[in-house]
């Protein structure tokens, strides 16, 4: 009986790990676009690179970037805390990011400062084509 219970627990753990990784699969890849800052009417470039459970964000024109720490992810929406790791003087640290899936090739980005829900920046990001196209059989 103990072996059956242990097998069941192991199966549940393995299944939940696979399921949680598949929830963010729609975000895998490199996404690029131009952000718009509502409080000062400025624009800036941005690039998001997602590999598995790693979320790297760069704002090349602002010379800053860092990583996103997942808060929640489902099949069409993801919430993150943005942790700026370089260029702190030019970017806001610890902001809230919401990503919504628009299609296979586009996502919507919304940013709000910590402690508020007011969106102060937004963008539409387009998925960059892979350097290695899939081969057809």
pLDDT recorded at residue 129: 83
- Nearest 5°: CA angle at 117, between 115 and 52? 85
Domain-by-domain residue ranges, the chain?
Answer: 2-127
pLDDT over 90 at 27, yes or no: yes
Q: Are 121 and 37 in contact (CB under 8 A)?
A: yes
Pairing assessment for the beta strands 64-73 and 42-51 based on DSSP bridges:
unpaired
pLDDT digits (tens, 9 = 90+) for 89-133: 989 999 999 999 999 999 999 999 999 999 999 999 999 986 555
- Whether CATH 2.40.128 fits 2-127: yes
Distance CA 66, CA 55 (A): 9
CA–CA separation, 80 and 100 (whole Å): 12
């Amino acid at each position: 009986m103990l072996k059956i219970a242990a097998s069941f627990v192991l199966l549940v753990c393995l299944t939940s790990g696979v399921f949680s990784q598949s929830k963010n699969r729609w975000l895998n890849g490199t996404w690029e676009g131009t952000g718009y800052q509502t409080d000062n009417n400025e624009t800036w470039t941005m690039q998001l690179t997602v590999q598995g459970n790693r979320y790297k964000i760069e704002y090349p024109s602002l010379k800053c970037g860092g990583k996103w720490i997942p808060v929640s992810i489902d099949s069409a929406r993801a919430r993150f805390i943005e942790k700026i790791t370089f260029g702190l003087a030019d970017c806001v640290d610890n902001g809230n990011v919401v990503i919504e899936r628009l299609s296979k090739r586009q996502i919507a980005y919304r940013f709000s400062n910590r402690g508020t829900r007011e969106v102060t920046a937004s963008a539409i990001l387009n998925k960059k084509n892979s350097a290695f196209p899939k081969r057809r059989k």
